[in-house]
Chain A
């Protein structure tokens, strides 16, 4: 079976750092994606991990531990525009499909 868990909501302050966790139990693993989705809009790609470790892209970083079935997305120097839903998705063993978590709604307050 496939199971991906993320916190439902988080709130953080502008300028701060926030970490959004994702745990997964899937029948196969071929990479983990993070997407950002603003209200009423389409998801957009943020990061990708297939090997253990940290991937950094500007203010955003993503970490993966395959042995623990665990990933996190780290957002630094939070801005109001970072208020959005963050989706964790695992690609299946054949590389054809993504399984998505329910998403974490992040609210950034001033």
Chain B
């Protein structure tokens, strides 16, 4: 089991460029998430997905788009990168919480992507 993987690990962009971050998980998880982590601000949710073909906005969605065409993959896109999007991006996945079932479904995180926008 590779768990949650992210590509690329590090990227430098110029303002206005676009890119896509890929997250893949092999745990058959229903839920997937994209976070950004900035110094002193903790993890903030950008977008998330509760199943294949579905996505929803999180706390800080502006400037990002996502797609979940396959259950195992969750893509995060930056259409026109800005210096404010310099951050470390983490993807996570978890099982779907079933009614009456176990509720200790922790999120499993990928190793992160460090993005620098100049």
Contacts and interface: CB of A to CB of B under 8 A. Distances in A.
Nearest to A103: B42
Interface stretch (B14-22, B67-75, B77-85, B108-116): B108-116
B106 A48 contact: yes
B48 A33 contact: no
B100 interface: no
Give the residue among A50, A101, A103 with the most B Cβ atoms within 10 A: A103
A64 interface: no
Given A31-B103, A33-B106, A102-B42, A43 B90 contact: yes
B111 A50 contact: no
Contacts of A95: 97, 103
A97 B45 CA distance: 8
Interface in A16-62: 30-31, 33, 41-45, 48, 50
Given A33-B106, A42-B110, A48-B106, A102 B44 contact: no
A87 interface: yes
B42 A42 contact: no
Given A31-B103, A50-B104, A97-B33, 20 more contacts: A30-B103, A33-B107, A41-B111, A41-B112, A42-B111, A43-B43, A43-B109, A45-B106, A45-B107, A48-B104, A87-B42, A87-B43, A89-B43, A95-B97, A97-B48, A98-B43, A98-B45, A100-B42, A102-B41, A103-B42
